[in-house]
Amino acid sequence: MGLRRCCCMLAIVLAYGLWLVPPETALAQQGKPAVAGSLPSTNLSNDVSTDPSLPRPAPGFANARVAGNPLAPEAKSVGMKTCIACHQLEADHFTHTLHALGLIAANKADPAIPVCEACHGPGSEHAKNPQAKGLIIAYTKDGGTPIDVQTRTCLTCHAGGPRDHWLGSVHQRNGLSCSDCHNPMAKFSVEGSMAKQSINDTCAQCHKDIRLQFNRRSHMPLPEGQMSCDDCHNPHGSLSSGSSLTSFPLAKTNTVNETCYQCHAEKRGPFLFEHAPVRESCLNCHTPHGSNQNTLLVAPVPFLCQQCHTQQRHPNDLQTANSLMTGKNPDERIMGRGCLTCHANIHGSNAPAGPRFHE
Amino acid sequence: MNLLPNFMRLPAAMLLVLVCTQGVAANYVDLRRIEPVHGDAAAGASRAVVCVACHGPNGNAVVPTFPKLAGQRADYIYHRLVEYRNADPNAPYYVASPMPAQAQTLSDVDMRNLAAYFAAQTPTASPTITETGDEQGATLYSNGDPAKGVPPCQGCHGADANGPIITASRYLAYPMLRGQHAAYLVSRLNGYRDKQAHDSTNDFIMRGVAHMLDDGSIHAVAVWLDSLPVVDKH
Amino acid sequence: MTRSLIRFLPLACVLCAASAHADTGIGVDTWRADKLDPTGGMASQACDADGTSWLAPLQRRSPTGNLYNCAPESPRTYELGDWIYYGLIEGGYLGASGDRVALWNRYADWRRNNLVLGLLQVNLERPSDGSYVDVRASRISADDQLYQSVFGRAGAYKVQAFVRDMPNILSTDAKSIWNGVGTNNLTLPASLVPGASTPAQVAAVSAGAPLTTLGVKRSKQGLGVSTYLTPEWTAYVNLSDEERKGTRPYGGPFFFAFAFEGPPFFMQDGGVNETIKPIRDSTININGGLRYAGSQWRFDFSYSGSFYRDKYTAYDYQSPFKLSPLPVIPGAISAPLYQGQMSMEPDNDYHNLQATATRKIAWNGEISFSAAGGRMSQNDSLIPPINCQGVFGIGIGNLQVGPQNPLLYDCSKWNTTDALSQKTADMRIDTTMLDARIRLNPVSQLSLRGSVKFDRQDYRNVYLLYNPLTGQYGYPSENGTQGSIVPGEAGIFDPLTSPSALTRVRSLPLDIQTIDANAGADWRFSEKNTLGATFDFNRYEPTNRERTQIDASSFKLTWVNRSIDWLTLRVNYTYLNQTGNTYNFDPYDFTFSSSLPGYVPPAAGTPSHTVDAMRKYDMSSRDENKIDVMATFMPRDDMTLSASVRGDWNSYDAQIGRQAYDTAGATLQWDWQIAVQSTLGAYIAWDRSRLGLSNVQDQQNGAGVDPALGGANYALIGQWWANDAQRDWYAGLTFNHKFDRVRFDLNWNYLYSRGLTDYSYAGPTALAHLVGNEGPGPGNGAFPSMVYRVNSITAGVTVPVNERVALRLFDYYERGRINDWHYAGFGQGLVAGNRVYTDAGPQGYNANLIGLFVNVKL
């Protein structure tokens, strides 16, 4: 498309945008201070008198109650409205999150369901003395709430499923809290209530070294936003110990290969002729995050292959730069795809004449 | 003439745009990260001659619509003066107040000195107390009213209403309320409730709180605070 | 066209538009975005100028100590009945200039100047019951786009759908001598005679061929539903269909070229063809399950299925090169072969069922049992062993099949599926997994844990390389060419005519069983200090491998320290020892003709499979030491400094094979939240890896029977060592600042990778080729360094025009340099002797992308 045409289109879009403004007052923005005023009050006496015209609370929130805070045993619930009196900006940012949407609707349908205090515990002592640490369940570095109280509170509603094996997981053992990765207080990410702008940015807070490997020559399409760490790893814990030849840490499936097959289903086979290390673990030859070699290989071909292949005749020769196209003896065993020029179906061959992956 | 390599041209143009659009900051005083205010109380005393006309000798105002300044936190006084200086004198909240004009006559050093001066004075009990505080005011101050969404005042203004314990700079400008004139407190809380006060980040906190208060509650807590015996902190 | 419309059906089902299925427990598709904004829409989000809270400055820190991001500005919302909605649309012009090579366009289609839809985001919410609809879309080109939609009710149900296209450009400097690229039939142009062209003729065609882009586009569409059945029970189903379409460089063996070019033959023979594989396949993935989370019990039942279908079973290609027999038999003539074939991956099915039950027990504990059973199977039609016409092999004097020509084979006896022992593959692997684990917290300072996991892969069925038409075993090697060049190496065992031929006669089943047990404890010895220890024992039992039992024991120590206000420190150290039972260097004999009745060893004996000192690195005994230190420093309220150091040292007990693999790295990252709308960040990092291996050249022309290292065949004079060292240096800078109304962003990333492979050898006989200046004794040398260096800089400004409209202007400049010695000299021509290459290798580039976008809030 010509540049001129593009500019024209751009001008039209711009003109449209300008024409849109100012918005009608009927569509006026809900100002920040108005948020608090529009909220229902919390029924603290628990004499539930539900408005029959309202929908029943969603099942996911129906059992939500004020979280227990062991550091404030005397505290009583004060209700969202009281919280918001001071925490107006927080409430404003919270409004369009999934937690807010669900909890506020559930609270309207059943006033016994708290909003803020479902996660932060009863607020009365905190309101009286907000500077004292621990009186409210805080999910921050210096909020005074122990990590296990934080995670236990989240798991009250989020137990099971992907988080079934949180206890004992490497992240749990290293003292991570849910809020190291998640921040449900505002829309910091388009999905997943992440603490950073994406899953990948969130993981990179601690695993910057791994994130940087994705900048290498060959890599999974993670910097391009096409996948996330969670496609392969379950950061909440998994059955994988990571110490066996067929597993890796926080694996989402039972083996390395099952994880890879999710996107590379063609490699699943099983093939007529199998290559033993391939069937065992893709990680025998590939490094998962990024490599200076082509196709995420651990080492340059042919040396990668020559770690195992000492068979007689051609596999065990020492190749040198003399065997490159620019050398005196160009040799297909090292040029271009190297070994794979002939042993092309290296992941397994389904050809009856393919025991050596030639066909 | 091609002075810049191609790929540098756009960033250079962007930089130019930036330089041209440098501008002003937010239109309220951000009290969330401030330095403690220090001033010369003696120098402040000489500047306070005008102030005492309304705020009373030593800042112990006699007229109940004028706030007492004696013993108030210097940080609060200073930043309140800054807010006055920044204020639009024609705004409804300020149109009847002499303070925006007064503040224009003060230098920053003057404000600090005045703040130090009034903070160093000893508050006295209001001579004009006509009502004694009742239980409702005390309860509101200490426990708030969760059913109405009112948080307890003591969280920010201290259990004894002498202001909070300073554990971080953001608490510096939270004022002492103990013994303050009820009439002044009522008018200030009404100002918050009517959303007319928007001079500092702390005003926004108080707007949210006052939004939950009805006339009765405002009256009750103001009278109760006024009735508290002042404490000489010095 | 129809297909592309059908793709949008799931979307249409979900209110014609899209967010994603994100389950960290099962499946993929957890994220969808593009390179323009990998965050999927957050890049254009401005921070709320008022900050996060009226009560506190800047942002709070996560428990580890990282500063949270600034809170995004709340959207302007509008009412629509009892719904509210908000959204934005960002569209504009992307202007690309510079070198549009594969490395620059990997996974992003930035090749053309284009009007693009940067982002369309529409959100609807119904506060009365918590219902919502989210739509998100971005379109860079027809190859690089995504559309997704989610609707649901918070805490009740969620329905989501997406359509996504992702490019993967592999080469932009390919030249094909074949016609039919992208199909399953590659034919030579009229100017080349199949099987009878000279390298010069092939080179001329290659040089004249147009530049071709090779790459694969993935087009995926998915639909997911998850719902609460009761407050405790939830159910979900996810379905996706992915199509891959494109081409990639591949192989095409017509036997060695290198073996004949030097002494003693000095001839052009064999054929090395880098062909182009067509990619035309689709995969359907399904998963679904039921989950229960009650106060005492938890259950998780899930099913995963995957179904892979390839349009092609195989592709055919023509080799241009002429074959000649080794001049060892007078009057020998090579069969004029030129037709090659390459099998594609077979269609396959996968099913997996898994169930987990967890119960809370005493001591604040949990006990959990899981079981899974799965099956991967394929029963694809098999292709014939060869696709030649006429004969293959060597004729003496003529090419007439008959007893007078024992080295010549009739294609018609092999180019049909009647020549197979079975017509379909019928291969299957059954998997079983059982797991039990327990966690206890007898006191709050102490937690104990233990688990046992059992995994098994049962390989079902075996394929026999037997030709019922001829009664022979084996297969025509390398499209029949090996036996057409080297007498007696057709790859076919016949108890009468070639009883000493050593060839593969059966497939290799690879059953695997793993038992993993571990126990550990974590002890919080002070309020903010935790020490953990884990012992893990792993027994790995493969069949038909060099070892049938491999035991790995590891001990891991963890220390987490938060006792200092400004520091969070995590230290992990692991020691692992792997050992196993007797190492059998040749467990594969049963798959060769030497295991058949009627096999007659050659006079000198059957050549050994490999050297006895070889230890394959997965099977080898090894010691591993691994350390990982992560520290988060908080020098000031508004600053974070994150540092990590890691090292992993592996020492292998191998005279021949991998001997060492060490990696180490360090990163330092600094983040400064200057003000609410102003951040500065920088990082530097370094890592290295070193892989050391040894191998040994055989001395007896492939006929050696002695497998011993130091013996006659694997003499020590032939031993050699190689060392591959990789280094990476990284640096970067990000700066975001709002000057009054204008937002400015700057981003710089730098990477310098350098790999050096060097080698040494005991004697010149280790070398593949002698240049002539080698001495009689040891020597050494190195390859040119393998370098990848990328510098990229993005600078952008976002200027608001009014409350709803903003203009964004950015420039992204990137410079990439690459040197991969595998492709040295490919720029001068892709033909060398009887070899023709298609991909000229990765290219460096200078590329620039200018973007001018209009961002309109709805």
pLDDT digits (tens, 9 = 90+) for C139-155: 999 999 999 999 999 99
What is the pLDDT, as a whole number, of residue C14? 44
Is the confidence at residue A304, as pLDDT, over 60?
yes
pLDDT, position A242 = 80
Instruction: Output the pLDDT for position C114.
Output: 87
The pLDDT tens digits of the residues spanning B29-73 come to 999 999 999 999 999 999 999 999 999 989 999 999 999 999 999
Q: What mean pLDDT is predicted for residues C706-733?
A: 97
Q: Is the pLDDT of residue C11 over 60?
A: no
Crossing angle of helices B74-86 and B108-119, rounded to 10° = 140
Q: What is the dihedral of CA B89, B91, B94, B96, to 10 degrees?
A: 90
Q: How confident is the model at residue C43 (pLDDT cuts 50, 70, 90)?
A: confident
| Of C751, C752, C753, C781, residue with least CA distance to C769 | C781
Question: Which pLDDT band holds residue B2 (cuts at 50, 70, 90)?
Answer: very low
CA angle C24, C26, C27 (to 5 degrees): 105
Model pTM score? 0.92
The alpha carbon of A203 is separated from its chain's Cα centroid by a whole number of angstroms, namely 7
Residue B51 lies in a domain: yes
Residue A52: the pLDDT is 65
- Using CA atoms, how far apart are residues B26 and C740, in angstroms rounded to an integer? 9
Q: Quick check: A36 and B204 CB within 8 A?
A: no
Comparing C379 with C12, the larger pLDDT belongs to C379
DSSP annotation of C476 reads -
| Alpha helix segments (H runs only) across C642-790 | none
Closest CB to C56: pick one of B18, B21, B32. Answer: B32
pLDDT at C199: 96
Give me the pLDDT at residue C491, please.
Answer: 96
* pLDDT score of B8 more than 60: no
Q: Which subunits sit against A, judged by 3+ Cβ pairs under 8 A?
A: B, C
Pairing of strands C614-615, C656-675: parallel
To the nearest 10 degrees (0 to 180), the angle between helices B182-193 and B215-227 is: 150
Q: Is the CB of residue A54 less than 8 Å from the CB of residue A105?
A: no
* Amino acid present at A192: G
List alpha helices for C49-208, DSSP H. 199-208
**CB within 8 Å: A128 and B207:** no
C680 pLDDT above the threshold of 60: yes
d(CA C171, CA C211): 10
Q: Is residue B16 one of the residues assigned to a domain?
A: no
Give the pLDDT confidence score for residue C849 in this predicted structure: 96
Q: What is the pLDDT of residues A191-228, one digit of tens each?
A: 999 999 999 999 999 999 999 999 999 999 999 999 99
- Measured CA to CA, the distance from residue C522 to residue C716 in angstroms comes to 51
Cα distance from C741 to chain B (closest Cα, Å)? Answer: 7
Query: Which chain A residues are closer than 8 Å to C644 by Cβ?
Result: 206, 208-209
- State which residues form the domain around B217: 30-121+133-227
> What pLDDT does C45 receive?
87
What is the H or E stretch that residue B109 is in? helix B108-119
Closest CB to B146 among A78, A84, A131: A78
Residue B176 lies in a domain: yes
Residue B173 in domain: yes
Q: How many CA atoms lie less than 13 Å away from C665 in the CB half-sphere?
A: 24
Position B78 pLDDT exceeds 70: yes
pLDDT of residue C18: 33
Q: What is the pLDDT of residue B210?
A: 95
pLDDT band at A240; cut points 50, 70, 90: confident
Find which of B30, B203, B207 to mutate to test the A interface (most A CBs within 10 Å of its CB).
Answer: B207
The verdict on a CB contact (< 8 Å) between B11 and C739 is no
Chains in contact with chain C (at least 3 beta-carbon pairs closer than 8 A)? A, B
Q: Closest residue of C to A5, CA-based?
A: C115
CA C72 to chain centre: 36
Confidence at residue B150, expressed as pLDDT on a 0 to 100 scale: 96
pLDDT for C212-260, tens place per residue? Answer: 999 999 999 999 999 999 999 999 999 999 999 999 999 999 999 999 9
Q: Which of C71, C341, C841 sits opposite A93 (nearest CB)?
A: C71
Closest-CA distance of chain C to residue B21, Å: 7
The CATH number covering residue B149 comes to 1.10.760.10
- Delimit the domains of chain A by residue range: 60-196, 269-349
C117, containing H or E segment: strand C114-126
Q: What is the mean pLDDT of residues C342-359?
A: 97
pLDDT > 70: percent of chain C: 97
C-alpha–C-alpha distance, residues C148 and C125, integer Å: 17
Please name the residue of chain B whose CA is at the shortest distance from the CA of residue C798.
Answer: B14
Mean pLDDT rounded to a whole number for chain C: 94
pLDDT at C10: 52
Residue B196: predicted pLDDT:
84
B146 and A129 within 8 Å at the Cβ level: the answer is no
What percent of chain C shows pLDDT beyond 90?
Answer: 92
**Could you report how far apart the first and last alpha carbons of chain A are, in Å?**
43
pLDDT of residue C21: 45
Q: How confident is the model at residue C25 (pLDDT cuts 50, 70, 90)?
A: confident
Instruction: Answer yes or no: do C378 and A270 touch at CB < 8 A.
Output: yes
Q: What is the pLDDT of residue A19?
A: 46
CA distance C202 to C252: 15
What is the average pLDDT across C357-380? 96
| pLDDT of C675 over the 70 cut | yes
Average pLDDT rounded to a whole number, residues C513-519: 96
**Is the Cβ–Cβ distance between C652 and C615 less than 8 Å?**
yes
- Chain C contacts of B21, Cβ < 8 Å? 739-742, 799
Query: What's the pLDDT at C113?
Result: 86
For position B134, what pLDDT does the model report?
A: 81
Is pLDDT of C526 > 70? yes
Q: Among C453, C455, C495, which residue's Cα sits nearest to residue C474? A: C495
> In this complex, is the C-beta atom of C16 within 8 Å of any C-beta atom belonging to chain B?
no
Q: Which two tokens stand for residue C631?
A: 């520290």
* Contacts with A306 from chain C: Cβ below 8 Å: 693, 695, 722
On the question of pLDDT at A45 being above 80, the answer is no
**Residue B230's pLDDT is what?**
80
Instruction: State the pLDDT at residue A37.
Output: 44
DSSP class of residue A12? H
Q: Assign C3 a pLDDT band (cuts: 50, 70, 90).
A: low
pLDDT on residue A46: 42
Above 50 in pLDDT, residue C681?
Answer: yes
CA atoms of C298 and C130, how far apart (whole Å): 26
- C105-125 per-position pLDDT tens digit: 999 999 888 899 999 999 999
Bridge partners of residue C151, in order along the sequence: C133, C159
Q: What is the ipTM of this complex?
A: 0.94
On the 0-12 / 13-18 / 19+ scale of CB atoms within 10 A, C665 is buried
Answer yes or no: is B3 within a domain.
no
- Amino acid C8: pLDDT: 58
In chain B, the residue whose alpha carbon lies closest to the alpha carbon of C848 is B7
Note the pLDDT tens digit of each residue in C68-106.
999 999 999 999 999 999 999 999 999 999 999 999 999
Residue B1 maps to a domain:
no
> Is the pLDDT score of A33 beyond 50?
no
**What are the residues whose beta carbons fall under 8 Å from the beta carbon of C12, sequence distance 6 or more?**
none
Interval C317-342 mean pLDDT: 95
How many residues make up chain B in this entry? 234
Number of residues that this document lists for chain A: 359
